[in-house]
Structure 1
Amino acid sequence: MGSGDVWTAFGPGLAGAIFGAGWWFWVDAVVCSQSTVPFLHYLPGIFASLAALMFNCVKKEDLQEYSSYDDGEGCRSRTWLFLAYVISFVSLAGSVGMLVQDSLVPKGPSTWTGVAGVLQCFLILISGLVFWTSRSSE
């Protein structure tokens, strides 16, 4: 069993554990919060999860061949992948914005809620990348 086989065998499990840890941080922060967490604070994690799903819908084979005049599957896959990364990084930026808001507003959610949101989005992004790189091409 080579290193690629080990990555293919254990990568999806590792990705699932990282994804679960991201959501665990968020659930912990919401449960332990002294005040009600507004629904707006949930959106970065939801969109990060959606983005991870989006870029795992792209096959690696679709990205191999490229022609600047191609308007077929390769172009659509690259556009979809670009959109998925834009959504994931915007959700990460949104969670950082929520962290700043939580640290500045005295009556809002705690700073831990903001930190947990950033950790959640970061870990979801990492888990999606781990899963995408560890998928077998078969």
Structure 2
Amino acid sequence: MGAQEIWNSVGPGLAGAVFGTAWWFWVDAVVCSAITVPFLHYLPGIAASLAALMFNCVKKEELVEYSPFDDGEGCRSRTWLFLAYVISFVSLAGSVGMLIEDALVEGRPSTWTGVAGVLQCTFVLASGLVFWTSRSANEF
């Protein structure tokens, strides 16, 4: 059994564990918060989860061949992947913005809520990348 086969068998479980850890951080921060966490604070984690789902919808073999004049499957896949990465980085930037707001503004959720939001987005996106890299080329 080669390294790629081991990664293909271990990777999805590892991705699920990292994804669960990400949401555990967020649930812990919401439950331990002294005040009600506004729904706006939930959006970066939801967007990161959506982005992870989006870039796992792209097949690896669609990205192998590239022609700059291709208007077919490869171009659509690259555009979809680009959009997924834009959403993922915006969600990460949003969570960092929430962290700064929580740390500086009085009457907002605790700084731990902001830190948990950043950890959640980072771990969700990492789990999506782990799952995408551990999929074999003939899946989906």
Same fold (TM over 0.5): yes
Alignment of 1:121-136 (within 5 A): 121-136=121-136
Which AA in structure 2 matches 1:102?
Answer: D
Runs of 4+ with deviation above 2 angstroms: none
Give 1:105 deviation, angstroms. Answer: 1.3
Give 1:107 deviation, angstroms. Answer: 1.1
Which whole-Å CA distance do the structure 2 matches of 1:105 and 1:33 have between them?
15
**Aligned residue-pair number:** 138
Unmatched tracts of structure 2, length 5 or more: none
Give 1:114 deviation, angstroms. Answer: 0.1
Which AA in structure 1 matches 2:71?
Answer: D
Identity %: 79
Which AA in structure 1 matches 2:60?
Answer: K
- C-alpha distance after superposition, 1:4-57 (max 9, x if no partner): 010000000000000000000000000000001000000000000000000000
Alignment of 1:25-44 (within 5 A): 25-44=25-44
Which AA in structure 2 matches 1:81?
Answer: L
TM-score (normalised: structure 1): 0.99
Unmatched tracts of structure 1, length 5 or more: none
Give 1:133 deviation, angstroms. Answer: 0.2
Alignment of 1:1-138 (within 5 A): 1-138=1-138
Which AA in structure 2 matches 1:123?
Answer: F
Which whole-Å CA distance do the structure 1 matches of 2:108 and 2:91 have between them?
20
